[in-house]
Amino acid sequence: MSPATIFQLHLALGYVPWLLCFGAYVWPRLRSMDRLDAQRAIATLHSFRFFGLVFILPGVVGSHLPAGFAAFAAYADFATGLLAMLALLTARLPLLFWPLVIAFNLVGSVDIVIDYYHGVQLGLPELAGELGAAYAIPVIYVPLLMITHAAAFYLLLRPQPKVARAISG
């Protein structure tokens, strides 16, 4: 099996265990939580996205990793992580918290979609070994990030129960 095939298989299969785990353990808990607490839990996970800066760290990734992939992925992850941290810091200020929740989820999900696009356009599967120690990010970490972005959007868009609206009003 070629390295490109193995990488593509890893990318696809990375979603399977996370979807199984998320569906069995995380999603039931998130759905039962208060809206703010659920978004705080998701923001906490995404606040670690500063780690994406390793895509531009020499010695962690190979020198032949396409710059068009590495720089965008690194800085968009960094921005997402900062927005998530700001959301966490403003949890008691709803006028700031909710726009920051929307912002980090929009920036983060668009980042992942564009990274997938850049990866395909720049032939990343054929150069997967250039990811070096960062190989685990797209294979293990990114699927969980994308799943939680989808969950965050769902939780943002679902109607609030009437009791919650009456209390908040």
Average predicted confidence (pLDDT) for the chain = 93
pLDDT tier, 167 (very low <50, low <70, confident <90, very high otherwise) = low
Which pLDDT belongs to residue 37?
97
Share of the chain above pLDDT 70, in %: 95
Residue 34 buriedness (CB in 10 A; 0-12 / 13-18 / 19+): exposed
Q: b/e map of 52-81 (b: 16 or more CB within 10 Å)?
A: bbbbbeeeebeeebbeebbebbbebbbbbb
**Is residue 1 scored above 60 in pLDDT?**
yes
DSSP one-letter string for 109-131: HHHHHHHHHHHHHTTGGGGGGGG
User: 8: closest CA among 117, 149, 114, 124?
Assistant: 124
User: For 40-45, what is the mean pLDDT?
Assistant: 98
User: 129: closest CA among 70, 61, 69?
Assistant: 61
When mean pLDDT is compared across 2-16, 58-72, 90-104, 155-169, the lowest value belongs to 155-169
Cα 72 to Cα 141: distance, rounded to the nearest angstrom: 17
pLDDT tier, 169 (very low <50, low <70, confident <90, very high otherwise) = low
Name the pTM for this structure: 0.90
Q: Angle at which helices 67-89 and 94-121 pack, to 10 degrees?
A: 170
**Is residue 67 scored above 60 in pLDDT?**
yes
